Amino acid sequence: MTQLINNDLLGTQNQSLESGLKSDYTALGEKLARSDINIEAILQKAKAFSIAVPSWGVGTGGTRFARFPGQGEPRNIYEKLDDCSVIQQLSQATPAVSLHIPWDRPSDPNELRQYADQYGLMFDAMNSNTFQDQANQENSYKYGSLTHTSQAVRDQAIAHNIDVVELGQKLGSKALTIWVGDGSNFPGQQHFKNSFAQYIDSIKQIYATLPNDWNMLLEHKIFEPAFYSTVIQDWGSSYLAAKETGERCLSLVDLGHHAPNVNIEMIVSRLAQFGKLGGFHFNDSKYGDDDLDSGSINPYQLFLVFNELTDIQLENPSYSPFYMLDQSHNVTDPIESLMYSAAEVQRAYVKSLLVDRKALAHYQQTNDPMMAQATLKQAYNLDVEPILQMARFQSNGAIDPIACYRESGYRQQCAQARPVDPNKTGSGII
């Protein structure tokens, strides 16, 4: 397998941290054993955890005001895969990449698949894009796409999604994620019922062409780019559309797509209870769809989301929704952010495995809110870093991914090999 970070360097780095890790891991194992938790069982689950990296996340995002490109940014999908392979090599938690079409459309899908294969990378859910006009496109999406008043525009958007599925099949993907920004900026601009009916009609046509082993994931978002109303604005609309469409049409929860303070973990529970929770876009936010690094603002919320997921998996062990990081990196090195964020999501997952569910059920049943919340906090407050480090170490990743990455000089090599493209500065798009 091709590896872009020198393995000797990785080995030397790990060696210098190994004995410290082993004593931390032993101490944590003893502590957990006192609560009848077998650290080795948790370690195996941590090692099996994975989350997809978005191809667009390895470039600097930018805001609608400006984009400040970083050094050595990837200039095409092949260079993006190079960066994704570094993230996977060091973090050992991100074996798949999620593509956005047309941003990442390959001229030869087989060649792209082989390129990913050499790194052992796979392709996760495919993302269609009908929120921007593409070059040489007949109809504009200015007033919407899958929900547009004009049948011709809707047909064009449907055809694009079908095309993305066909491409994804060649790459080994198994899901299509649909997010549309369709909506309105003024009261009265759009007929609520008609636009939602048009959306459902459109996604039914896409669903009809979906391969049998594929899922279709509907992503809701409260606002932006539409500022008065958005057609798929909430989990209710997403659920209704998914239910109308078919069994393999599911809802996807992006953590940044809700009003501040909304109880997202409860949305997770509701969707799962009725068999419609299909996937996640992880990120964090303070105000809106900020796309900040996962766990950087509200790590407790992230833990509470995983607390629900672990609860669901107790009843249904084979349940595995699609996980992807959906972040925009403006002031950090995207590779560092994605490695760190993958570990933060993994951390929330591991902590959720440590919740004493028998005790929690008892405190819920006997109406003891103090002890119920303390039971969650007991797991959340544990420092599980040794488990995450050991998971990476035993999988040939880095005990300290960011230190190893910085030591490798990978970014500096990219800066030489990939000079900044002056056409890609200026205003941001996502």
Three-point CA angle 423, 425, 428, nearest 5°: 120
Nearer to Mn ion, 253 or 353 (CB): 253
Our finding on whether 289 is near ligand PSV (CB under 6 A) is: yes
To the nearest 10 degrees (0 to 180), the angle between helices 109-118 and 77-91 is 30
Nearer to ligand PSV, 104 or 254 (CB): 254
Task: Let me know: does 62 contact 370? Beta carbons within 8 Å.
Answer: no
Interface region with Mn ion, contact rule CB under 5 A, candidates 125-133, 247-255, 267-275, 385-393: 247-255
- In the numeric block, which tokens belong to residue 328? 């925009």
Nearer to ligand PSV, 14 or 330 (CB): 330
CA–CA distance, 242 with 12 (Å, rounded to integer) = 50
Our finding on whether 276 is near ligand PSV (CB under 6 A) is: no
Binding flags for ligand PSV, 81-120, as an x/- string (CB under 6 A): ----------------------------------------
73, 254, 265, 293: which one contacts Mn ion (CB under 5 A)? 254
Q: Which does 207 bind (CB under 5 to 8 A by kind): Mn ion, ligand PSV, none?
A: none
Our finding on whether 326 is near ligand PSV (CB under 6 A) is: yes
Q: Which does 430 bind (CB under 5 to 8 A by kind): Mn ion, ligand PSV, none?
A: ligand PSV
CA–CA distance, 340 with 117 (Å, rounded to integer) = 24
Min dist CB 365 to ligand PSV, Å, is 38
DSSP track, 138-201: SS--TT-STT-SSHHHHHHHHHHHHHHHHHHHHHT--EEEE----EESSTTSS-HHHHHHHHHH
Strand, coil or helix: 54: strand
Q: List C-alpha distances in Å: 120 to 70, 95, 117, 422.
A: 27, 7, 5, 32
Min dist CB 122 to ligand PSV, Å, is 19
Query: What residues numbered 225-264 form the site for ligand PSV, per CB under 6 A?
Result: 254
Residue type, 272: A
Binding flags for ligand PSV, 170-209, as an x/- string (CB under 6 A): ---------x------------------------------
Our finding on whether 265 is near Mn ion (CB under 5 A) is: no
Q: Which does 363 bind (CB under 5 to 8 A by kind): ligand PSV, Mn ion, none?
A: none
148, 220, 281, 329: which one contacts Mn ion (CB under 5 A)? 281
Q: Which does 52 bind (CB under 5 to 8 A by kind): Mn ion, ligand PSV, none?
A: none
Interface region with Mn ion, contact rule CB under 5 A, candidates 33-41, 119-127, 274-282, 365-373: 274-282
Our finding on whether 326 is near Mn ion (CB under 5 A) is: yes
User: CB under 8 Å to 335, separation ≥6 — which residues?
Assistant: 58, 83, 86, 87, 405, 410, 411
CA–CA distance, 409 with 263 (Å, rounded to integer) = 42
Our finding on whether 13 is near ligand PSV (CB under 6 A) is: no
154, 220, 221, 347: which one contacts ligand PSV (CB under 6 A)? 221
Strand, coil or helix: 248: coil
CA–CA distance, 95 with 52 (Å, rounded to integer) = 7
Burial level of 367, CB count in 10 A (0-12/13-18/19+)?
A: exposed
The contact set with ligand PSV (CB under 6 A) reads 127, 179, 219, 221, 254, 281, 289, 326, 430
Give the residues lining the site for Mn ion (CB under 5 A): 254, 281, 289, 326
